[in-house]
Amino acid sequence: MSQVVNIPIQNVYYLLCYAWDKLAERDVVAVEAIDSTTLADLFARVLINGTNHLLKRGFDRGYVSQHEWTGRLRGRICFQEAVSKNPQMTGRLPCDFDELSYNVLHNRILKATMRRLIRAQGLARECSEGLTQLCRMFSDIKDIELTSRLFGQVQLHRNNQFYDFLLKVCDLIYRNLLVSEQPGSSKFMDFLRDQGQMATLFENFVRTFYRVHTDFRVRREDIYWRWFAADQASGGLLPKMQTDISLTLGTRKIIIDCKFTPEATQKHYEAERLRSEHLFQINAYMDNLEGQGADSCEMMLLYPTVDSLLSADFTHNGHKISIRTINLDQPWQSIHQDLLALVA
């Protein structure tokens, strides 16, 4: 089997929009016409289209704290600084005041991300030119050095929520754009090869998909151990059991465990076998569900397909266990229909 799940970049974009719960923004920033196969070009196009959408609505403004020596009193006078600097020599006083400005943090992050992405190796010329042109629109917005902490400091409200979508794209670019050996350039890391990032993305996508497109109640659910601890210290050592996705509708309950691995099976004496660690996890769920309102429950291990579809069914103590794959390398409408069919 191949070691990397092949996903068209348009589908990567849809996965992200579902995982971020940004389906309305997905329709605003269309990517169907993109003929590139690189993630750098995809995200450049998303930023270009998204920022152009902001331009039509007008960039967001906010009150920014300012400190200035001025002859026109504004805000709060900084008396201690005024005395120490001898204002008679300048005819001015130091003041702290808030000013309505475009120089808010979310605009600064957007500008900084576009400037970084322009330097990415292999970026299509039209994307580089589009980002460069947009950066000129940010000439009054101060440059900023991006850090991971900055993204958590942004404060948005209902009227500027479109920024939240673009900032998620910016954060993804920041975490995957690596400094290159060539001076002044960067290389976009293929996060499709990052097992951790893709596992989280796949799980969040599936959860949001079923919440949006079915009548199931969709959530993560804690499953409590049926073991009796000898003392409080022993009980505290037990790991938390939490489902990836629990679907409930009337008396029907489905637990889905998403596994983003290119190999749903493993070799054992030249024979294909299901991955034992994944089966042990599902078995632990079943053994501890009794008395938690789910005497009969459907369990599913869901993998992205690599070479061929996999389907296997089992039963244990009244529970149905299904092993399924979803082909992410197909038209999105087919993915949509296949996911619905899994829980029909």
What percent of the chain has pLDDT above 90? 40
User: Same structural domain for residues 47 and 86?
Assistant: no
pLDDT reported for residue 88: 60
Q: Which residue has the higher pLDDT, 30 or 47?
A: 47
- pTM for this one? 0.81
pLDDT reported for residue 179: 62
41 located within any domain: yes
What secondary structure does DSSP assign to 283-304, as a single string? HHHHHH-TTTT-SS-EEEEEEE
**Counting beta carbons within 10 angstroms of the beta carbon of residue 282, is it exposed (0 to 12), middle (13 to 18) or buried (19 or more)?**
buried
23 located within any domain: yes
Angle at 101 between CA 96 and CA 107, to 5 degrees: 120
What is the tens place of the pLDDT at every residue in 174-196? 988 876 545 556 777 777 778 88
The tokens describing 243, both together, are 């489902």
User: Same structural domain for residues 178 and 37?
Assistant: yes
User: Same structural domain for residues 177 and 206?
Assistant: no
On the question of pLDDT at 258 being above 90, the answer is yes
User: Same structural domain for residues 238 and 316?
Assistant: yes
The predicted model gives 295-309 an average pLDDT of 81
User: Same structural domain for residues 43 and 183?
Assistant: yes
Angle at which helix 9-19 crosses helix 195-213, to 10 degrees, equals 70
On the question of pLDDT at 338 being above 50, the answer is yes
User: Same structural domain for residues 55 and 84?
Assistant: no
Lowest mean pLDDT segment, chosen from 1-10, 112-121, 222-231, 246-255: 1-10
Query: In total, how many domains does the chain have?
Result: 3
What is the tens place of the pLDDT at every residue in 85-137? 765 656 677 788 777 888 899 999 999 999 999 988 888 899 999 999 999 98
Separation of alpha carbons 325 and 282, rounded Å: 16
Average model confidence (pLDDT) for the chain?
Answer: 85
User: Same structural domain for residues 206 and 261?
Assistant: yes
Query: Which structural domain, as residue segments, surrounds residue 176?
Result: 9-60+107-190
The predicted model gives 220-227 an average pLDDT of 87
User: Same structural domain for residues 284 and 313?
Assistant: yes
User: Same structural domain for residues 201 and 281?
Assistant: yes
End of a domain among 46, 76, 101? 101
User: Same structural domain for residues 294 and 207?
Assistant: yes
User: Same structural domain for residues 151 and 237?
Assistant: no
For the domain that residue 315 is a member of, what is the CATH number? Answer: 3.40.1350
CB neighbour list of residue 246: distance below 8 Å, 6 or more residues apart: 218, 219, 220, 221, 253, 254, 255, 256
User: Same structural domain for residues 163 and 179?
Assistant: yes
Separation of alpha carbons 207 and 214, rounded Å: 11
2 located within any domain: no
Residue at 44: amino acid letter: A
Lowest mean pLDDT segment, chosen from 39-43, 61-65, 86-90, 130-134: 86-90
